[in-house]
Amino acid sequence: MRVTPSALTPSTPAGSAVILSASFNQDASCLSVGYPRAGFAIFNCDPFGRFYAGSAAFPVSGSTNASQSQGNEAPSFSVVEMLFTTSLVALVGAGQQSPRRLQIVNTKRESTICELSFVSAILSVKLNRKRLIVCLEEHIYIYDIANMKLLHTIDTSPNPHALCALSPSSENCYLAYPPSTSGGSSGDLLLFDVINLQAVNIIQAHKSPLSCIAFSCDGTLVATSSDKGTVIRVFSVPTGAKLFQLRRGTYNANIYSIAFDISNKFVCVSSDTDTVHIYKLMTEAEKKAYETFMRRRSSGAGSGSGGGGNMDILSTSPGATGGLGSTGMDGTGASMKKTIGGILGTGFATIRTPLASATSAVSSFLPNTLTEMWEPQRDFAFAKLPQQSKGFQNMCAIVGGQPPNSPSFGTTLDFDNTGLLDGGSGMSSTGPLQLIVVSACGFFYGYTLDSEIGGECVLVKEHSLLDD
């Protein structure tokens, strides 16, 4: 998230600090924040806490230290990107420091590993354990992160918002960005293999220009939104098959961020609507089970006094025939939640409307161009941002859960690692799911996320990113 201080409210105190940039590392276990004239800081997300602050540690070229080159004023950073939880950090200056210079620094040694200059301003930097990507407005540069050798340059259409995404995975190592619009749709997405340095697919993601792109942690899924912001689509990588279509809302919105959880079961989406939406990615079997439940519920079978003879679809035991009646339905509905949770994997959100089965039936008779209106899946859970963050840019992530069984990710948190690629590869967060949100007003929020019943997420922690 690259922030411009344009969303300050009238109630913002004069002289208050704002953040210039904020980004999660590849597994959202850490948060890096760049400040105007105050260096940068790195926070642990769970439990929350600042564990590194760099104010004047890395000199610019031709100076012995940052304080001598800038007086007593600490540097400003518009880009601060981590490599998992290693000590490697990519920095791009702002203010009096050149936005065309990229510094790769070692935060333990407090030294600059290398420095690169470009012909125009650097808009974003992406990293994984194999590649480093530098995005300018009309060029994308691909580097081997082990030796910082330039491997390939991609010329792009004007991309002032630096719209691109790099998969965190070393095995499914892809770059996604909007291709040239000549001869194609403005909503197309190009997948580029950054290991073999070749384009592998162009996905017709949307009819309108893209606004946000995000890969899953293992690089097997990519999610996109358009500048309308009403629908988020999830595609298989690298085949480009559309797997899910998620409905954010009826009215247009600016999508700020999209993020998958570690297990690829949930997707969160933040926008300028001050509501963060969470979706559960269900298999076809889960969808059919839910549709069956909805049909029987809407016909009145689920409103009886517990006999449940027609509700055996909800039983998870092969020998069970009593449905809800065999679970001992109580007044709180806990047994129903548990049974539905069994048939749907980790559960499903509160039922939104009894017309779902009718919608499904009607949509089966419509041509594909019309069923687009019926297909999108509604959110499973949602979170409301506090009043103080309304109107500010934001970004979200889901932490906790079990990581995929992939050699790309480790299990240790070792930020003090001195090697460029040694250890500290991330995926440290396990346990109950949490939604975390960072606001450009300088706050970090943590919400509980009930993976079984969904619904409204509860705000349980709030921290300032501006405190010393």
> How confident is the model over 385-422, as pLDDT tens digits?
999 998 899 999 999 976 655 433 333 334 344 344 44
Contact, 40 vs 59, CB < 8 A?
A: no
* Closest C-alpha to 435, from 422, 445, 423, 425: 445
Q: What is the mean pLDDT of the chain?
A: 78
Contact 88, 104 (CB under 8 A): yes
Q: Model's pTM, two decimal places? A: 0.77
253 lies in some domain: yes
> Of 15-29, 113-127, 424-438, which gets the smallest average pLDDT?
424-438
Domain end (from 331, 355, 371)? 371
- For residue 8, being part of any structural domain is answered with no
How many whole angstroms from its chain centre is CA 122? 22
Dihedral-angle region of residue 113 (phi above 0 means left; psi in -120 to 50 means alpha; beta otherwise): alpha
76 with 119, same domain: the answer is yes
146 lies in the same domain as 123? yes
Residue 340 is part of which domain span?
Answer: 284-371
CATH code of the domain containing 205: 2.130.10.10
Both 200 and 335 in one domain: the answer is no
- Chain centroid offset of residue 390 CA: 20
Q: State yes or no: pLDDT of 279 exceeds 60.
A: yes
Residue 174: enclosing H or E segment and its boundaries?
strand 174-177
Q: Are residues 358 and 399 in the same domain?
A: no
**Edge-to-edge strand order for the sheet containing 88-94?**
76-82, 88-94, 101-106, 111-117
Query: Is residue 185 very low, low, confident or very high in pLDDT (cuts 50, 70, 90)?
Result: low
Answer yes or no: is 2 within a domain.
no
Element (H, E) at 67: helix 66-69
Residue 76 lies inside a defined structural domain of this protein: yes
Q: Residue ranges of the alpha helices (H) in 278-401?
A: 284-298, 334-343, 356-363, 368-371
Measured in degrees and rounded to the nearest 5, phi and psi for residue 28 equal 60, 25
Query: Is the domain of 65 the same as that of 27?
Result: yes
Q: Would you give the distance in Å from CA 285 to the centre of its chain? A: 26
Q: What is the pLDDT of residue 354?
A: 38
CA atoms of 102 and 117, how far apart (whole Å):
6
Residues 37 and 126 in one domain: yes
Same domain flag for 193 and 307: no
Tell me which residue of 177, 242, 215 sits closest to 377, measured CA to CA. Answer: 242
Give 377's DSSP letter.
B
Split at pLDDT 50, 70, 90, the class of 426 is very low
Shared-domain flag, residues 235 and 363? no
Residue 142 counted as domain residue: yes
Q: Please indicate, yes or no, if residue 11 is contained in any of the structural domains.
A: no
Whether residues 388 and 302 share a domain: the answer is no
| Phi, psi for residue 324 in degrees, rounded to 5 | -65, -30
Look at residue 330 in the predicted model and tell me its pLDDT.
37
Q: In Å, how far are 96, 174, 188, 193 from 200, measured between CA atoms?
A: 40, 9, 13, 6
Q: Whole-angstrom Cα distance, residue 399 to residue 266? A: 10
Q: Determine the pLDDT at residue 170.
A: 96
> Do residues 330 and 181 both lie within one domain?
no
CA distance 449 to 371: 31
Q: Which of 353, 371, 389 is the last residue before a domain boundary?
A: 371
Three-state secondary structure call for residue 66: helix
Q: Are residues 301 and 311 in contact, defined by beta-carbon separation less than 8 angstroms?
A: yes
Number of domains forming the structure of the chain: 2
Backbone dihedral region of 318: left (phi > 0), alpha (psi from -120 to 50 degrees) or beta? alpha
Using CA atoms, how far residue 114 sits from 160, 379, 393, in Å, is: 26, 44, 32
* DSSP-based three-state secondary structure for 261: coil
Ramachandran category for residue 399: left, alpha or beta (phi over 0 → left; psi -120 to 50 → alpha): beta
Cis? peptide before 168, omega within 30° of 0: no
Determine the 3-state secondary structure of 411 from DSSP.
coil
**Same-domain check for residues 188 and 314:** no
Q: Maximum CA pair distance of the chain?
A: 81
Residues of the chain above pLDDT 70, percent: 68
Mean of pLDDT values over 150-166? 96
Q: Is 151 inside any structural domain?
A: yes
Name the pLDDT band for 111 (thresholds 50, 70, 90).
Answer: very high
Task: Please name the amino acid found at residue 212.
Answer: C
What's the burial of 330, exposed, middle or buried (CB within 10 Å: 0-12/13-18/19+)?
exposed
User: Are 309 and 405 part of one and the same domain?
Assistant: no
Position with higher pLDDT, 373 vs 37: 37
Place 96 in a pLDDT band, splitting at 50, 70 and 90: confident
Q: Domain end: 344, 371, 398, which one?
A: 371
Q: Which residue has the higher pLDDT, 380 or 16?
A: 380
Domain contains 13: no
* Whether the predicted pLDDT of 70 surpasses 80: no
